Homo-oligomer: A and B are copies of this chain.
Amino acid sequence: IHINPILRRLAPERQALTIEEQSLVIITGASRGFGRAVAEALCQNLVSEGSCILLMARSQAGLEATAQSLKTIQPNSIKVQCCRIDLAHPDETVFRTSIQEALSKFEGDLKQFEQAVVVHNAGTMSPQGLMTWHCSKSTDLAAYFAMNLSSTMVLNSVLHEEIFAQVPKAVVVNVSSLAAVEAIISWSLYCTGKAARDMYFKCLAQECPQYRVLNYAPGPLDTDMIAEVLADPKIHPEIQKIFEELVQQGNLLQPKTSADKLAQVLKADEFVSGSHVDYFNL
């Protein structure tokens, strides 16, 4: 068998990590839907006394509702901060300042944390319903990749310097999708962005074998996005039919169900770092 000679050089040694206490947890898109469910699931299952959770999103009201929910789950033992951030316009300086300000509100030192857990959940599907041959507006493409790709890369770079490098362990979760690995009609923009994000985090795992990096595809979720997909006349009929059937057959997942599974996967700590793990493969 011929093997690409570069391939032989790509297997780094990996250090196993375990999820422990005293975490600094950061979640983007935490104001609603799956992001909120992940915040709740991690709060319930993973973090212990003295942990801090930083919720990031555009909507202050949504962030505060998520924070309120977390306080119900763990009334006294954890600290929660909200950080308004606009991921549609990635800017290193703005991201860095926002994170530094948010961290300063925890009134502690990063050294207190045994690990950082980051969940890159934020993402959009719009513009919807573009066939591959409708991807002709470069400004639309640029805006989509800024929001769904560059923004995540810039934020992760800033988090790497500001946080990962300061704590003993880093767990980095990318909220991926089946669309990262399978082509879906009229969703080429979404598929392309998700495939690219998966690869970025696969590279992070390659470059930082001491981290635990997971591309988690949460399955089809019962969130606001579904209502948008069913209502939008620009959505391809094939896609609408898929989701209509999912709704009719009760096959949509509750965000909590998939978020709890994510928490279990992190707790079990058996995934290959950098791999793509689907809810349905667990």
A254 located at the interface, meaning its Cβ lies under 8 Å from any Cβ of chain B in the complex = no
Residues of A contacting B: mostly: helix
The yes or no answer to A142 lying at the interface (CB within 8 A) is yes
Q: Is the CB of B196 within 8 A of A183?
A: no
The CA of A238 and the CA of B91, in the complex, are separated in Å by 30
Question: Is A227 located at the chain interface by the 8 A CB criterion?
Answer: no
> Does A183 lie within 8 Å of B274, measured CB to CB?
yes
Which chain B residues lie closer than 8 Å to A249 at the CB level? 5
20 additional contacts (CB under 8 A) given A5-B220, A10-B183, A142-B142? A2-B280, A5-B246, A6-B182, A6-B220, A6-B242, A90-B138, A132-B153, A132-B203, A135-B150, A135-B153, A141-B154, A142-B145, A183-B199, A188-B200, A191-B202, A192-B196, A192-B203, A194-B199, A195-B199, A196-B199
| A204: chain B residues within 8 A (beta carbon) | 132-133, 188
Q: Which A residues fall within an 8 A CB radius of B?
A: 2-7, 9-10, 90-92, 131-138, 141-142, 145-146, 149-151, 153-154, 156-158, 160-161, 164, 178, 180, 182-188, 191-200, 202-208, 217, 219-220, 238, 242, 245-246, 249, 251, 274, 278-281
Known: A2-B280, A6-B178, A142-B150. A186 touches B157 (CB 8 A): no
The chain B residue sitting closest to A2, CB to CB, is B280
A158–B185 contact, CB under 8 A?
no
